[in-house]
Amino acid sequence: MFAFSVFALRLALGMTACLLLLPRGVVNPRYYRIQFLIVLALTGVSCVFAKALSGLLVFWVFATVAMGSALLGSLVWSLERAPGRRFLIAATLLILAGALMNLDVHDPVMAASPLHYTLADFTSAAVLGTALSAMLMGHSYLVAPTMSLRPLLILIAALAISVAARMAVDGLWLWTARRSLGNLDNDMILLLLVRWAVGFAGVFALTWMTWRTARIRSTQSATGILYVVVIFCFLGELTGQLLTNSTHLL
């Protein structure tokens, strides 16, 4: 249950960060409202999965404030020319980061290697957030077909960079891991192959296809590919968390 709580918070953090990447005045406010409502729901899901843990008072404070901030964000983006929109995105981002860091304190892997785990947190959040945000952005072109391609291309490029950063973190951890890969059983080796083949190689290939498809303004096809990207990213990151908990291999 702890892993699902971390996963939900990472996704919420990544989706919030993506809002800061979007150019002003191009994307319909409806997109921001949906993003904030999803962040609100994900933070609530994280709390549900974390309720069995003890000593999480600080986490509950951060999570409650984050949900309030996300709700306020959805309301602010419902009002025309409401002030403080960008500030609210940044504030929600920092609060979610605080909640995630406080939750991580209860993970023994964090105590063993805080730097690697922190890097894994933020790169995983970037991968998950950009993948889902790009897919949702693709849907925006169904109701606004003449909208500039710039927001979608920005998110696709951010996804590629995020996956590269995540690969670097995982690769560094494998290179410096104390536990030899030769000591892993067949099930763990299979999970490691799935992690890299699906969560990295597959995502990279599909991201390149999405980029090429979006460039010719075939946004519906790009959105369809992004559905698969989201599935691959979710599967890869959940597999990575399973490896972390089982073998301390990120």
Query: Do both 55 and 170 map to the same domain?
Result: no
Q: Is the pLDDT of residue 108 over 80?
A: no
- The C-alpha atoms of residue 155 and residue 132 are separated, in whole angstroms, by 10
Q: Is the pLDDT of residue 48 over 80?
A: yes
Query: Do both 214 and 185 map to the same domain?
Result: yes
pTM here? 0.92
Distances (CA, A) of 41 to 9, 65, 123, 140: 10, 13, 21, 20
Query: Do both 78 and 181 map to the same domain?
Result: no
Q: Which two tokens stand for residue 69?
A: 């901030």
| Predicted local confidence at residue 104, as pLDDT | 85
Q: What is the mean pLDDT of the chain?
A: 89
Q: What is the pLDDT of residues 190-216, one digit of tens each?
A: 888 888 999 999 999 999 999 999 999
Query: Do both 174 and 76 map to the same domain?
Result: no
Q: Is the pLDDT of residue 19 over 90?
A: yes
Q: What is the pLDDT of residues 161-191, one digit of tens each?
A: 999 999 999 877 766 655 555 566 677 778 8
Alpha-helix runs per DSSP H in the chain: 2-19, 29-50, 57-76, 85-104, 108-112, 114-143, 150-176, 186-196, 203-215, 219-247
Query: Do both 36 and 137 map to the same domain?
Result: no
Residue 48: CB atoms within 10 A of its CB come to 12
Q: The tokens 């030899």 sit on which residue?
A: 180
Choosing from 51, 75, 106, the residue where a domain stops is: 106
* CATH number (domain holding residue 66): 1.20.120
Name the nearest CA neighbour of 174 among 120, 128, 230: 120
